[in-house]
A and B are shown apart, each in its own frame.
Chain A
């Protein structure tokens, strides 16, 4: 389980996060939702110790993040984390070299799933294919948790559909996923838990399934209720 406890983050005098708390469980898809600048990416960066927090605590399976955790949790940012001059095969080799949790078989499967050519250079890829490579590099790792920052950002409808298929495939089974996205419609039916953020705080945390079954509301309906109040 990932536990985010009362974290605060300031950029200069500006308070971005003002005591954010939520949990994300293994086997669930947790979606962080909020307008631009609300601190969604900062939360993901903070979980991965890519930006320091001012207060609060983040625990992954009961431990604070350390070097060994990067074999258990992976982060897929909204930009490619490999060098543009690398071929996809080079990027896969890099991952294989450094991570014991790298699953080459799954990587090959993902190459086929996304119809990517491993001899292509990253710099020559379209935005959609770059996003797919980014996903491939994250999902081919045998980790407990996957963090995804705007995986559908700025890519065409067909690529979005292909990426969305990942969430219903075995490739994501039994993992905890924390995702931030504005394209909620693509994965709304797959989300287990929603964390709505506004002005640096969690304004609502709810189970998507309960909202659907008990109140007959979709995630978008709840968002409208909360944000347009």
Chain B
């Protein structure tokens, strides 16, 4: 346990710079987006009301009040989120491959630590989770700050105020990242954890058997996904709606746990018996 925690800390420190850069980009771009979009709306209002002498009520009925959703649906807001998602996606691969390639051969050190090699796997997957939770938490902290700036710039009569929950729930495209219920959280992040464990196993297949390993890794991923969705496939094509939705949900959770456990076992086996530096 002690070695695992040390490894988590060590891995996190290695990611800290990239993490800080991505957080900074999110902070700067999203706040800039709030300012730019609010100012643009305000400029249009000023132009119409003070230069073209349009009555305020007519302006509001023509253009409507500005809601914070205008910001959240813009590239200013979604761009940094997409960048962070891509960053984590890229890091899932980088977190393993950087230890093999480059000037250093850090993988030697990791595999020669006097602890079970699965701790390396656990430390790396924990870091992916920590990074994801870190980005989500940062975004949730940032939204109230952004709405405050939004309120500072736009007078009350020109804006629609929304709280964080209203903002998040009205954006289906980011609902997976910010589930509004505990069940949703377990479901989405559990599935995410399972996907990362499958990808890690596929990477370890490649690192164990090189070119053949790519093929085996892809095959393993297909089988794992097939096992995971097998209750859905059975329900749809064989059993013709036999299960109640709740039963199907429970079966999916069981299948997810089986795939997760299978991936961890396989990764442990590869790290112990098949890995090649």
Contacts and interface: CB of A to CB of B under 8 A. Distances in A.
B6 interface: yes
A74 B112 CA distance: 8
Instruction: Determine the interface band of chain B, counting residues with CB < 8 A from chain A.
Output: 20 to 34
Interface stretch (B99-107, B196-204, B223-231): B99-107
B113 interface: yes
A158 interface: no
Interface string A66-96: 0111110011010111111000000000100
Contacts of B112: 48, 50, 70, 74-75, 81
A82 B277 contact: no
B61 to A, nearest CB: 60
A49 B274 CA distance: 9
Nearest to B111: A50
Contacts of A68: 114
B277 A45 contact: yes
B105 A79 contact: yes
Interface string A43-74: 00100111110000000000000011111001
Interface string A120-151: 00110000000000000000000000000000
A50 B277 contact: yes
A225 interface: no
Contacts, number: 70
A70 B114 contact: yes
Contact of B108 (A67, A81, A123): A81
Nearest to B102: A84
A97 interface: yes
Contacts of A98: 3, 6, 113-115
Contacts of B10: 94
Nearest to B270: A52
A49 B108 CA distance: 10
B181 interface: no
Interface string B78-114: 0000000000000000000000001111101101111
Interface in B228-250: none
For chain A, which range describes its interface: under 10, 10 to 19, 20 to 34, or 35 or more residues?
A: 20 to 34
Nearest to A75: B112
A81 B116 contact: no
B276 interface: yes
A206 interface: no
Interface string B5-36: 01000100010000000000000000000000
B163 interface: no
Contacts of B108: 50, 75, 77, 81
A52 B104 contact: no
A52 B276 CA distance: 7
Contacts of A113: none
A106 to B, nearest CB: 18
B109 A82 contact: yes
Nearest to B113: A98
Contact of A52 (B14, B102, B273): B273
B273 A80 contact: no
Nearest to A70: B114
A123 B103 CA distance: 9
Interface string A205-226: 0000000000000000000000
A83 B272 CA distance: 23
B113 A70 contact: yes
Contacts of B105: 77, 79-81
Given A52-B276, A94-B10, A97-B6, A82 B104 contact: yes
Given A79-B104, A98-B6, 14 more contacts: A45-B276, A50-B277, A51-B276, A52-B208, A52-B273, A77-B105, A79-B103, A80-B104, A81-B112, A84-B102, A84-B103, A97-B6, A98-B113, A99-B114
16 contacts: A48-B111, A50-B277, A51-B276, A52-B273, A52-B274, A52-B276, A67-B113, A67-B114, A75-B108, A75-B112, A79-B103, A79-B104, A81-B105, A81-B108, A84-B103, A122-B104
Closest 7 pairs between A and B when the two form their complex, measured CB to CB: A81-B109, A70-B114, A50-B277, A81-B108, A79-B105, A51-B276, A71-B114
Interface of B: 3, 6, 10, 14, 102-106, 108-109, 111-117, 208, 272-277
Interface of A: 45, 48-52, 67-71, 74-75, 77, 79-84, 94, 97-100, 122-123
